[in-house]
Structure 1
Amino acid sequence: MSKAVVIGGGIGGLTAGVALRRKGWDVAVLERAPKIDPVGSGLAIASNALKALDTLDLGDPIRRLARLQGQVGIRRDDGRWLVRTTGGDAEARYGDSMVVTLRATVMDVLVDALGRDQLRLSTTVSGVDAGRGVVHTADGDLEADLIVAADGIHSATRRTIFPEHPGPVYAGVTAWRALVPRGDLTIQSTESWGRGLVFGVHLLAGDIVYVYATDVSPAGAVHGDEREELARRFGGWHEPIPTLLRTADPAKIIRNDVHYLRTPLPAYHGGKVALVGDAAHAMTPNLGQGACQAIEDAVVLAHFADGDLAAYTAARLKRTSKIVQRSMSICRMTKLRNPAAVWLRDLGMSAAARFSPDVMLRSMDELLRWHPPADIGNGRGSGEGHGPTTAHT
């Protein structure tokens, strides 16, 4: 039986472990933390990732535990819609809508599917030998026919394989995330844009509201009270944003600077190592595709793992590089501060929506009409290939 060692117990690493096990591999997933403890936030799973999860028989469990999205779109800071669509329209076009759920929910589903015996917690990786297929850990060396590097945006494995690559760069924005009780509020899933500012709101199962925000900021800025920082920036915006901020627990607001891989890697493999998720193509959150692309990576890697890893790179590099660039292009639009530039941006978005009501969905066609390979496990893979068809929120 072929042996795979997965470095990293996040979304990409766990999905890779499940997909490889479904293909008959002996899998060990190494996680340096003492427990799987995902950051307390929400996670969007779009139709492309749901199709990938269907090949592992995990799409429906996620759908059952998540909240399907109704009306979604982008608004101004005063609440006026710029562009919008509905979950029903998305499902009619792509065969699925987007679901938003707790990151912890997705992690639990993946861990159960993997099997806890395949998960090695409190395991620190000190290095890899890509040519020989050896993972060095504090507990000894592990030999593998395949090493999956799912060790995140600051991947040490990536630096080992591509030491000349410049690595992640700062996108120019800092981001906040929080989970807030709904209370009596009426919640629509929206993302509101202002002058250099973004605030997103999504209702999750259990009457929990996932909120996120971004603002242009110097890297490494230090704040005393993150809720006060958010209230200063967004307290005058449309409801329910101010009320949600008043309800939020300051101790549970998470903030981090946003980095991404501006320079694509030359390949997503080296020797017996394959990179997935942020280790391969870290992106800004503006398309809500970071976890989705990691899930895609995992099922495609399992499809090609018995052969030449160059085929995995060929299937993933072009697609994910375009998504990284597109996500950053949207990030640049949200960073606009000049009043005239913001006015023109908003006018262009609202005019496009008036002349073509389905413009929001059509802009996502290449992204969401992707289909996975059909032979991962016994799931519902379509058999329509491993790339775009016919070719942050």
Structure 2
Amino acid sequence: MRTAIVVGAGIGGVATALGLGRAGWQVTVLERAPQLGEVGAGISVWPSAVKALQQLGVTGLEKASVVSAPAGMRRPNGQWVVKASALGLELPVMVHRAQLHELITSGFGSGVTVRTGVTVDGFADGAVRAGGEELRADLVVAADGLRSVVRDALYPRYAGPRYSGYAAYRGIADVELEDGGGETWGRGRRFGFARLIDGRYYWYATENRAAGAVGDVWSAFDQWHDPIPELLEATKPEAVLQNDIYDLPLPLVPFAQANVALLGDAAHAMTPNLGRGACTAMEDAAALVRHVTGPAAIPAALTSYDAERRPVATKLVRVSRNVGRVGQLDGRIAAAVRDGLLLTGGKVAGLLARRRSG
């Protein structure tokens, strides 16, 4: 029986463990947190990631998620810049991150062992070092996030995380609204929200500021259009998540070396501007499982995995970074030009979409 060690029990890590376990592997998941689970708020699961989850054997997503309502983008005063309903775009389903994590882990069988409270502090000579132990397996999957210990050991000259120049807030509001959601772009600030299946609303916001600074989402957005102040008022302050936004510099390092695979944020941490970070990790997991359960030896299988996934992730990191730069423009003239171009572009895209549908 083939064996695998998965470092990190975030969504990408547990998705990989599920897929490998269902394929007959003996999998050990190492997680530094004291208990298995996921911290966060809502997550957009795009159709490609829904397909990846199905391939991995995840069931029940349709009962825990709701299709996002077509929305669009507004200015802080509530004026629409572009409505998504005019564009004919595919829509993700919205689910609470913790619910998605539970859906994945509930599928674990006897082939998957999870060890919590284990801190991986090194990787050398093919062995994972954790708490004085040296652990080995046929396959090592580094799903240990932005500041991956395994990635740093494999590529010590890689620059590591890059600060984007802005921070994010996230929260869940228990409030009744008729607004379908969307994003609002201001000068150096953005706010977005979407409905979850239980009727609550997931919201997120960004704000330009120095790394490590502490902000106040209420004062930053309380003068913006309805229902933004209402969403903030209905959110418990202690439940608001606040973190600086980082991504990984390009070019990305190879996702494979010998019998080690990088996955998720450890491989391609990206800014959240496309809502594709966790989705890309799920797609990584499906691709990795497909490659390593095929006839090729593990090093060759991982080379194929890298060839498939790194170009895709590189494009997403670049595009997401560029969207963030445009979205966070804080100059009055620059922001006005941006909004004008988006308004014009939205009208053109809407016209083309209507022609295609007609």
TM-score, normalised relative to structure 1 = 0.84
Q: CA separation of 1:192/1:358 partners in 2, compared to 1, >3 Å: closer, same or farther? A: farther
Q: How big is the shift at 1:134?
A: 2.2
Q: Does 1:99 align with 2:93?
A: yes
Letter in 2 for 1:283: M
- What is the RMSD computed on CA atoms of the aligned residues? 2.0
Is 2:279 the partner of 1:292? yes
Letter in 2 for 1:65: A
Any conservation in 2 of the 1:151–1:279 contact (CA below 8 Å)? yes
Structure 2 residue identity aligned to 1:199:
F
Q: Which runs of 5+ in 2 are unaligned?
A: none
| Matched residue SS, 1:71 | coil
Give the 3-state SS of the residue equivalent to 1:113 in structure 2: coil
Measured in 2, the distance between the counterparts of 1:262 and 1:136 equals 26
Aligned to 1:37: 37
* Letter in structure 2 aligned against 1:82: V
Is 1:273 aligned with 2:239? no
Tell me if 1:65 matches 2:58.
Answer: no
| SS of match in other structure, 2:217 | helix
**1:89 to partner: Cα distance:** 4.2
3-state DSSP of counterpart to 1:238: coil
Q: Equivalent residues in 2 for 1:216-255 (5 A)? A: 216-223=208-215, 229-255=216-242
Q: Tell me which residue corresponds to 2:288.
A: 301
> By how many angstroms is 1:109 displaced?
0.7
Which residue of the partner structure matches residue 78 of structure 2? Answer: 79
Instruction: Quote the offset at 1:317 in angstroms.
Output: 0.9
One-letter amino acid matched to 2:241: I
Question: What is the alpha-carbon distance in structure 2 between the residues aligned to residue 85 and residue 38 of structure 1?
Answer: 30
1:113 aligns with 2:107: yes
Opposite residue 124 of structure 1, the aligned amino acid is T
* Contact 1:175 1:214 survives alignment (8 Å): yes
User: Could you tell me how far apart the structure 2 residues matched to 1:37 and 1:61 are?
Assistant: 18
For the residues of structure 1 that align with 2:86 and 2:259, how far apart are their CA atoms?
41
Is the counterpart of residue 211 in structure 1 residue 203 in structure 2?
A: yes
Q: Relative to structure 2, which stretch is displaced further, 281-290 or 75-84?
A: 75-84
- In structure 1, C-alpha distance between the alignment counterparts of 2:5 and 2:277, rounded to whole Å: 22
Counterparts of 1:86 and 1:181, CA distance in 2: 26
Question: Does residue 342 in structure 1 map to residue 335 in structure 2?
Answer: yes
Percent same amino acid at aligned positions? 37
Kept after mapping to 2: 8 A contact 1:166/1:263? no
2:282 counterpart SS class:
helix
Check whether the contact 2:187–2:329 (CA below 8 A) recurs between aligned residues: yes
Q: Could you tell me how far apart the structure 2 residues matched to 1:256 and 1:358 are?
A: 39
Q: Offset of 1:63 from its aligned partner?
A: 2.1
The alignment status of 1:122 with 2:117, answered yes or no, reads yes
Tell whether the 8 Å contact from 2:75 to 2:184 is kept in structure 1 after alignment: yes
Q: State the AA in 1 paired with 2:65.
A: A
Runs (4+) off by over 6 Å: 358-361
User: Please, which of 125, 136, 139 is the counterpart of residue 129 of structure 2?
Assistant: 136
Deviation of residue 294 (structure 1)? 0.3
Distance 2:152 2:17 in 1: 22
CA contact (8 A) 1:154 1:168 kept: yes
The question of whether the paired residues in 1 share the 8 Å contact of 2:86 and 2:350 is answered with no
Distance of 2:211 and 2:263 partners within structure 1: 26
Distance 1:144 1:335 in 2: 44
SS of alignment partner, residue 106 of structure 2: helix
Contact map agreement 1:353 1:359 (CA 8 A) in 2: no
Contact 1:40 1:179 in 2 (8 A): no
- Give, in whole Å, the separation in 2 of the partners of 1:64 and 1:88: 27
Name 2:304's counterpart in structure 1: 311
3-state secondary structure, aligned to 1:337: coil
Superposed CA deviations along residues 154-200 of structure 1, whole A, max 9, x for unmatched, are: 00111000000000110000110111102x32231201100111001
Secondary structure of residue in 2 paired with 1:213:
strand
Q: Deviations over 1:288-312 (max 9, x none)?
A: 0000000011111111225311111
Residue pair 1:5, 1:144 contacting (<8 A) in 2 also:
yes
